[in-house]
Structure 1
Amino acid sequence: MKNLPVVSLGLVVAALIGLLAYFTVSGGEKAPAVTVTASDGQTLNLNLPKKPVLVNFWATSCPSCISKMPDLAKLKEEYGDRFELLAISMDYDPPHHVANFIAANPYPFNFIQDTDGALSEAFGNIRLTPTTFLIAPNGNIVYRKIGDADMEFLHTRINQLSPQF
């Protein structure tokens, strides 16, 4: 009876570690139930995309965002149609700045202008850029990063989520 509090505390700690492992490995949080139309005309349901989707919130006023665009382009070129890459501009970014950037930088992925802030709100009211999410084919968010994304991790995870047939 004397050890009951210690045993109880141990069980609580074990349960918390188990939950953390579950959410880290399986990505327990679902992507928001939003449908987007990409710049190539393709419609994607983000909470059940059928293949991995990398969502990158960015702004033309964000030097880190701009400097990472070539790395994102290399990732898209390497994996091609095995995953989708959506670069979503922030609602505070002037649309003509975004349009000029896209015209001057023909990257091989889809750009979406979130002019009303609905997409950033759906992902938890994103305000800081870059913010990156990787959504698994089952709609679970398996990676979330505010700041520069870990490109090595993304390579590994996209490869795991989209095996080449």
Structure 2
Amino acid sequence: MTASTSSRSWFKPAIAAVVLALAGIGVASFTSSPAAPDVTFISITGDKISTQSLRGKVVMVNFWATSCVTCVKEMPQMVETFEKYKGQGLEFVAVAMQYDPPNYVLNFTETRKLPFTVAIDSAGDIARQFGDVTLTPTTFLIDKNGKIIKRYVGEPEFPALHKLIEKELAG
């Protein structure tokens, strides 16, 4: 054995240990649900709703914009989802992004008769606290204990979303 091979004999076991450690960290981070941030939404009607006040309910928080084609496309299904589950305790907050003009949001809400709370994130603080949301639509499903159980970037697959909502409402 040469000096160069004997000095590397520790290398493969060390790499294996690092890979196993990182794999363990990865598994741990996916098995525990992060808590939803403690924020207060201010609706377009001036109502204040905090994530704390929504504890005990299953909550959907949808970040969207009137200029987002996918957001506009998915909104009728978001309305249907809310209408289907609101009687069982689902709450829904649609958060318009900071760059969305308030008059556009108000007009969209009124013309589409959105039945849930619509808030405007005028300073961008709520999007930041939810993990720097920049892509729309981004939707979070939060369980009764205030834990984020699913984050959807883009339009969710609604049948799978409905199954998850039903499971959480039953729990």
TM-score by length of 2: 0.79
Q: What letter is aligned with 1:128?
A: L
Match of 1:158 in 2: 165
Q: Which residue among 81, 87, 104 is the counterpart of 2:111? A: 104
Question: Secondary structure of 2:119's partner?
Answer: strand
RMSD over aligned Cα, in angstroms?
2.7
Match of 1:35 in 2: 40
Q: Which residue among 98, 102, 107 is the counterpart of 1:95? A: 102
2:66 & 2:31 partners in 1: Cα distance?
36
Q: What letter is aligned with 2:74?
A: K
Deviation, 1:151, is 1.4
**Unpaired runs of at least 5, structure 2:** 1-9
Question: Highest CA radius of gyration, 1 or 2?
Answer: 2
Question: Secondary structure of 1:30's partner?
Answer: coil
Match of 2:4 in 1: none
1:163 & 1:101 partners in 2: Cα distance?
33
Instruction: Please tell me whether the aligned partners of residues 44 and 120 of structure 2 are also in contact (alpha carbons under 8 angstroms).
Output: no
TM-score by length of 1: 0.81
Q: How many residues align?
A: 159
Match of 1:58 in 2: 64
Match of 2:85 in 1: 79
Decide whether aligned partners of structure 1 residues 116 and 16 sit closer, same or farther in structure 2, where only a CA change above 3 A counts: closer
Decide whether aligned partners of structure 1 residues 127 and 7 sit closer, same or farther in structure 2, where only a CA change above 3 A counts: closer
Decide whether aligned partners of structure 1 residues 129 and 10 sit closer, same or farther in structure 2, where only a CA change above 3 A counts: closer
Identity of aligned residues (%): 34
